[in-house]
Amino acid sequence: MPSGYTAYHFSHPAGPVSPSCPLSLCGLPVRHVAMDRKVAVPEDGPPVVSWLPEEGEKLDQEGEDQVKDRGQWTNKMEFVLSVAGEIIGLGNVWRFPYLCYKNGGGAFFIPYFIFFFTCGIPVFFLEVALGQYTSQGSVTAWRKICPLLQGIGLASVVIESYLNIYYIIILAWALFYLFSSFTSELPWTTCTNTWNTEHCMDFLNHSGARTATSSENFTSPVMEFWERRVLGITSGIHDLGALRWELALCLLLAWLICYFCIWKGVKTTGKGTATPPRKPKGDRVAPSAPLPLSCGLPQVWMDAGTQIFFSFAICQGCLTALGSYNKYHNNCYRDSIALCFLNSATSFAAGFVVFSILGFMAQEQGLPISEVAESGPGLAFIAFPKAVTMMPLSQLWSCLFFIMLIFLGLDSQFVCVECLVTASMDMFPSQLRKSGRRELLILAIAVFCYLAGLFLVTEGGMYIFQLFDYYASSGICLLFLAMFEVICISWVYGADRFYDNIEDMIGYRPWPLVKISWLFLTPGLCLATFLFSLSQYTPLKYNNIYVYPPWGYSIGWFLALSSMICVPLFVIITLLKTRGSFKKRLRQLTTPDPSLPQPKQHLYLDGGTSQDCGPSPTKEGLIVGEKETHL
């Protein structure tokens, strides 16, 4: 034998032949051995096979063009932390507390918990279970369940694409504030900076001398730092102005962190940290004026419903993508309930922290809490920075607060990108699920989203950011998709059939309220809230002052409709592409993919004992063992 080669010798097995062992190991005739092996057949004894690999040939024979497996979570904790990192985000800190205050405090909890149990948990569990059952991302999962309504998955991808462009801008702002905190004096404390105007008033030195006239004619250094130093904001969306290069660099840093945290797959995505909010110093809670009981007002119900859908990341494709990497028999029902309660508990805890700080500010400045209570970026980049200037070691608290914001935003951004990557790779596995293709795909997404995000870090970029936030992922879009999701599963695919699939995965059937919600409660509440949202629509105003031009609102409605139109559009496209009568096409397009796992059937013997008979026949079988769809 030539030097430099290794000979592998296989002996004839003594026991019964295993059907899974290689041919040469099982003592089969030598002619079955591939031609690239060297075979020696001695007169006595089993055949001996010597494999002579070519130079540079790998033992596993894997080529660069070989399609890789999807992969799975290494353990349950990676899945739990990834989902927790996605759903516990900035909205828990800056949106939920304000909605509670705005809608009457405790009265807001009544509609909130009704939506929590009838919409939040059922739809959250539906999306996670769908991903685990199909082992597919958002687009291909819905395509396999019901080809007619595959537009649901495409709509979620559109929403996720918009989120990838504008959500990370918040991280760029937080990074800018974090770097600005490493100074001997916080730059938004005084009015002696180059960006301050003659209308700037140092509130620390004039906190007790504020009058109605001064509040109208003067601005705080915190506001001027935000609008003039960070944003450099222009007069309107018609004037985008110059690129804020410091924000562009912060945005680039945020994308670099995101890329290198997820580029190797779910095994690196799952290592992300779900960081709970830390409580800044501030131990006084200012009592707010009691508001009238408002749980009967439609606006309160709309706020409660949209908050549930926002904070649970429903209808964005993330939960389906993350659930698709679970093991088939993972108890996704228990995980979903625990994660939903964890998310709401975090929101309640954040409410105590936020209003402890706002109450502290109101008392120090002698103002009613209604004048300091804000929501969204105003809370994170105006109210809280003002609060830390009143505390000892203000630079330390400022750094801790913005580090918390960055962690809360980063793990949500990780999952946003991972959802888009998973959907793309499952749609085109033969092209993208190869060696090195995932890294290139993430790089392409990051570069595209970064270039698109540069428009949002111009001097007029804040106006574009508000359009994305108000229209692209609005409650109207999420309610519309949630309604079609539950209709597809409960009425087209069949709620009982999906319960059978879940029982096959986790070993028992979930609580009946979940199925009742899928069938009646969730679509009814979503439809009512959706119609009310349309009837009470008010055009976006920046800071409740600036009115967008008509073409600006047209851009906003294009962002909203571009996701919702996917559902009816692909219904029409799939019907036109399918041949046959309308009834035949409709039946074919509402039939699930036969490759989906089938629930096991049990044969009951005499005496009441049962015997597992394996999976029920698929569509190619002779017996149809599945329930038919409602259509």
339 is in an annotated binding site: no
Alpha-carbon gap, residue 232 to 195, rounded angstroms: 9
* DSSP symbols for 5-42: ------PPPSSPPPTTS-TGGGT--GGGS-TTEEEE--
DSSP bridge pairs for 60: none
CA distance linking residue 618 with residue 25, whole number of Å: 34
Say how far apart CA 589 and CA 493 lie, in whole Å: 11
Say how many Å lie between the first and final Cα of the chain, rounded. 68
Provide the greatest CA pair distance for the chain.
110
Any known ligand binding at 336?
no
> What does the DSSP 8-state code read for residue 50?
E
Radius of gyration, CA atoms only, the chain: 29
- Residue 521 annotated as binding? no
Do residues 440 and 259 lie in contact, with contact meaning Cβ atoms separated by under 8 Å?
no
164 is in an annotated binding site: no
Is 311 annotated in a binding site? The answer is yes
Rounded to an integer, what distance in angstroms lies between the CA atom of residue 146 and that of residue 476? 23
571-579 contact pairs (CB < 8 A, 24+)? 571/148, 571/149, 571/151, 574/147, 574/148, 574/150, 575/148
555 CB-contact burial (10 Å; exposed 0-12 / middle 13-18 / buried 19+): middle
Question: What are the residues whose beta carbons fall under 8 Å from the beta carbon of 286, sequence distance 6 or more?
Answer: 355, 358, 359, 360, 362, 363, 369
Q: Which residues pair with 582 in a beta bridge?
A: none
241: three-class secondary structure by DSSP:
coil
At 1, the amino acid letter reads: M
411 labeled part of a ligand binding site: yes
343 is annotated as contributing to ligand binding: yes
Angle value at C-alpha 483, between 481 and 484, nearest 5 degrees: 65
The beta strand positions in 377-452, using DSSP E, are: none
Strand ranges inside 389-526, DSSP E: none
Pick out the residues of the known binding site for Na(+).
85, 92, 311, 343, 408, 411-412
Pick out the residues of the known binding site.
85, 92, 311, 343, 408, 411-412
